[in-house]
Structure 1
């Protein structure tokens, strides 16, 4: 129980960072929303599951990669934290900039015509896996939760927990945003949401940059 208490704050911090990151609609989420609205809820849900599976793949690869690097080069932790901290500060800047912008959510269906449900799931996976920012995002998230000398189960808990969150949140987007009413509601609350996200990312980024443990 004492070991769980030792690593739980970092695990929860990683969960919070991931949850807030996908609470701010980026290209992947906007594709899910747009597909649900234009094609239908089942297609949006299939795309959402594909995106969530891609997110799980990135999380697993990052956790295994960082664990291997830290096991061989303990001094690499500082460099990893700097990279993750700077990326979180970049996300904070983007969130604050989005908060003062005038445009609302621009959700569009995927180009290329209709697909089968499997086709939408596959497309969602490809979109997530070919996102060049995903690696940096997962370095930041895993760095928040993976303390020096942490056992393997900590990384596993972070990966599986974020996978569950990804499935739930992306499916909620597909279901809730299948009507223009929800998109309009989000547009009204967008500034507050983005400002809140920016504050969290700034705090988390500074934490990584100043943590020397």
Structure 2
């Protein structure tokens, strides 16, 4: 298929969908506020991988792929949600600012990455975009391996360009906080945002379980 026009249309549509605040933006801002920019990039990378997974599902055929991996995706959602809630509790209880959390953050890049991935898997905005809106932008039946690769790279690039400013702004606000009281409030704000994202994921997982029953 002709790549240029579909890639432009896809980039515009994905940029609009990504920049609208939602659970992914909330989780990213919370990570940047609490852990700083470097750790939040792991979270953003997890978000991007989740988008690539849904892109692949949409191209490969929703029914067969979704049924095959539904149990694994649900387990990832639950683990990611629980980790975000745990992380939120650490922020909320931290009374001495962000020093301890910053040191621990360098050791949990993989967990942060997986929490961003899990959040995307449970984000209804992402699901609607790839499984409902994407087919109106791109002829999925005409997408081959090379086109899928180009779309995957473009997905990661667009998400980093559109979402990185959120992380940068949150990180900038964090660096301006130097007093213990201000840092404690910032910890609790980050904890509330991250915890909300975690509860959202767990709620989505619970809903999926009830529907299966």
Does residue 35 of structure 1 match 2:35?
no
Does residue 111 of structure 1 match 2:111?
no
Superposed CA offset, 1:70-111 (max 9, x none)? xxxxxxxxxxxxxxxxxxxxxxxxxxxxxxxxxxxxxxxx62
Q: Show the counterpart of 1:134.
A: 126
- Counterparts in 2 of 1:49-198, with a 5 A limit? 49-65=45-61, 111-113=88-90, 116-147=108-139, 150-152=142-144, 153-180=146-173
Distance 1:127 1:9, change over 3 A: same
Distance 1:124 1:150, change over 3 A: same
Q: Is the 8 A contact 1:18 1:141 kept in 2?
A: no
Distance 1:154 1:140, change over 3 A: farther
TM-score, structure 2 as length reference? 0.54
The Cα shift of 1:163 comes to: 2.3
Q: Show the counterpart of 1:9.
A: 5
CA RMSD of aligned residues (A): 2.9
Gaps of 5+ in 1: 70-109, 182-213
The Cα shift of 1:168 comes to: 3.5
C-alpha distance in structure 1 between counterparts of 2:5 and 2:127, whole Å: 23
The Cα shift of 1:149 comes to: 5.4
TM-score, structure 1 as length reference? 0.54
Gaps of 5+ in 2: 66-86, 91-100, 175-213
The Cα shift of 1:26 comes to: 0.9
Q: Is the 8 A contact 2:48 2:155 kept in 1?
A: no
Q: Is the 8 A contact 2:23 2:123 kept in 1?
A: no
Q: Is the 8 A contact 2:39 2:109 kept in 1?
A: yes
C-alpha distance in structure 1 between counterparts of 2:43 and 2:52, whole Å: 14
The Cα shift of 1:29 comes to: 0.9
User: What secondary structure is seen at the aligned counterpart in 2 of 1:10?
Assistant: helix
User: What secondary structure is seen at the aligned counterpart in 1 of 2:171?
Assistant: coil
The Cα shift of 1:133 comes to: 4.0
Q: Is the 8 A contact 2:28 2:44 kept in 1?
A: yes
Superposed CA offset, 1:30-63 (max 9, x none)? 1111221233222222211111111111111112
Structure that is richer in helix per residue: 2
